[in-house]
Structure 1
Amino acid sequence: MSADPTNIRLTRRAIIGGLAGAALTGCDAFQQSDVGRAILFSGETANKALQRTIMDRNALAREFDESDMSPIFRSNGTRDPDTPSYNAMAANGFADWTLPITGLVERPMVLSLDQIRAMPARTQITRHDCVEGWSAIGKWHGPQLSLLLQAVGLKTNARYAVFRCADLYNGIPYYESIDLIDAFHPQTILAWAMNDGLLPIPHGAPLRLRVERQLGYKHAKYVEGIEIVDSLAPINGGQGGYWEDRGAYEWYAGI
């Protein structure tokens, strides 16, 4: 998990939405149409729709040179799940760790860490923007999520990827989710390496999500399962993530 709100609300989302709305204020026909007004005044759906209207949905997040990498990359949220099962796997170098991919798929799979590390991988140096107000640039390495989703085959009603994680908050397993647009983005990867070394435990070992077009709290750490679903409503509080269920952050965190 990437952020612990401690009474911080996600104001950056409102700012982005406001800027996007301002960019459209010169278009009277858009504002006066029923569709335009519905988009402009429908909260999070408006922000999401506006971003995807004025931005290329496949646009890449900026990538940096090695000389730009931050000397210190903070870890926040959970720094160690410290559960009996996680500790046992960590002590064994995660040799027994597996990643099940289930739900609305044609070919459910259970992959070992060795199998994931053997997959074609992408290396990217990107900036991590935390909702708490700090940023850091780091190098990430791992297979594109799209490769795994193509391998299992998605059913026609699939809409979201839900990430089940090993860390607990108040005894509740952490989870996050993204839609398939972000899941198939070329910079959305399952990172098993960071800064030319194996992913450290404070940063989500053995596997974490990197979804570079979204804020840091969407980058689920300690991923131990992926479920493909058609709706987020039946899952826990129905808002698509642990903090979203508690009203701390919005589900869509695109930047």
Structure 2
Amino acid sequence: MSLILNRRNLILGAAATLAGCDRLARNPTVREALFSAENFHKWAQRSLMVRDAMAHEFRPDQISPFFRPNGTANPNTPEYKALWRDGFAGWRLKIGGLVERPLSLSLAQLRSLPHREQITRHDCVEGWSAIGKWRGVPLKPILDAARLRDGARYIVFHCADDMGGGKGYYESIDLVDAFHPQTILAFALNDEPLRVANGAPLRLRVERQLGYKQAKYLMEIEAVARLDHVYGGKGGFWEDHAGYDWYAGI
């Protein structure tokens, strides 16, 4: 009952906010955009939580005995197999797009940088969850080192897994989530280097969103001004092909 009341109060509060706005609030197009399911979800979460609010972190004794892989369990492409056989020594993470200083970082370089450890719960859109301990480099200092240009609004993650038809997996987040303290480029799970099934050599952890946003097998990070020109234009592989929400906040 309390959940119903909270939602009702939230909707009433939103309506009151709109009523107090300028003439834009009376524009049907603006109102429709604001209250679309995805935009309202994003607006509600961002309004009720401070920007750097932390996702819940767990105790070591709460770690799941097995961390089930989500999505692709192995890219299995010739290029990825070659990187794996070489222990990812030849792998490089490229950072480009709207940046002043493009970067190319090896796995050894990333591991040498100041890192963060966090024990968090992965919530999969398929209905399962698992708690794991992640270690990785916060994304913010990487972006700071690349020096984002003024026009950059989104960060796109390009991955090694080929989803068929020449379409690779990709995801994107905005700068609010990109700069969040718990958004990391993870290279270890439960104190072990990432297994192939869990995204080796590097995966994104953006802890306030659902599992399909946690892009695996990272190859390139691209800063962009908008998403409509990237692949299918909706900000992610499943968003393009299955209608998933771009904003998957939890």
TM-score (norm 2): 0.90
Matched, 1:181 2:168: no
Q: Which of these residues, 2, 5, 10, is aligned with residue 24 of structure 1?
A: 10
* Unmatched runs of 5 consecutive residues or more in structure 2: none
Alignment of 1:1-255 (within 5 A): 21-27=7-13, 29-30=16-17, 32-33=19-20, 35=25, 38=31, 41-170=35-164, 171-255=166-250
- Contact kept in structure 1, 2:134 and 2:186, CA below 8 Å: yes
The residue identity in structure 2 corresponding to 1:43 is A
Match of 1:204, as an amino acid? G
Q: How many pairs align?
A: 238
Distance of 1:19 and 1:126 partners within structure 2:
29
Q: Is the 8 A contact 1:144 1:186 kept in 2?
A: yes
SS in 2 for 1:52: helix
Q: Which amino acid aligns with 1:120?
A: P
1:19 is displaced (CA, Å) by 8.3
- Secondary structure of the residue that 2:242 maps to in structure 1? coil
222-231 vs 46-55, which deviates more? 46-55
Q: Distance in 2 between matches of 1:24 and 1:221?
A: 35
Decide whether the 8 Å contact of 1:165 with 1:220 is kept in 2.
yes
Q: 2: distance between equivalents of 1:144 and 1:237?
A: 28
Give me the whole-angstrom Cα distance separating, in 2, the residues matched to 1:29 and 1:231: 31
Distance in 2 (alpha carbons) for counterparts of 1:42 and 1:85: 41
Partner of 1:6: none
Report the Cα distance in structure 1 between the residues aligned to 2:101 and 2:230, rounded to whole angstroms: 22
Contact kept? 2:70, 2:211, Cα under 8 Å = no
Instruction: Check the 8 A contact 1:21/1:50 in 2, yes or no.
Output: no
How many angstroms does 1:47 deviate by?
Answer: 1.4
SS at match of 2:69: coil
Q: What is the rounded CA distance, in whole Å, between the counterparts of 2:196 and 2:184 in structure 1?
A: 18
CA RMSD of aligned residues (A): 1.9
CA drift of 1:26 comes to 4.5
User: Where does the alignment leave 5 or more consecutive residues of structure 1 unmatched?
Assistant: 1-17
Using the size of structure 1 for normalisation, the TM-score is 0.88
In 2 relative to 1, CA 165–40 (structure 1 residues): closer, same or farther, beyond 3 Å?
A: closer
Show CA shifts across 1:7-55 (max 9, x none): xxxxxxxxxxx98752324546336445499376233112111111111
2:17 maps to amino acid? F
Deviation at 1:76, TM superposition (A): 2.5
Counterpart Cα distance in 2 of 1:55 and 1:81:
36
Q: Higher mean Cα deviation, 40-49 or 220-229?
A: 40-49
**One-letter amino acid of the structure 1 residue matched with residue 221 of structure 2:** I
Instruction: State, as a whole percentage, how many aligned pairs show the same letter.
Output: 56
What is the SS of the residue equivalent to 1:227? strand
Q: Tell me which amino acid in the other structure corresponds to 1:88.
A: A
> What is the deviation of 1:148?
0.3
| Amino acid in the other structure paired with 1:23 | N
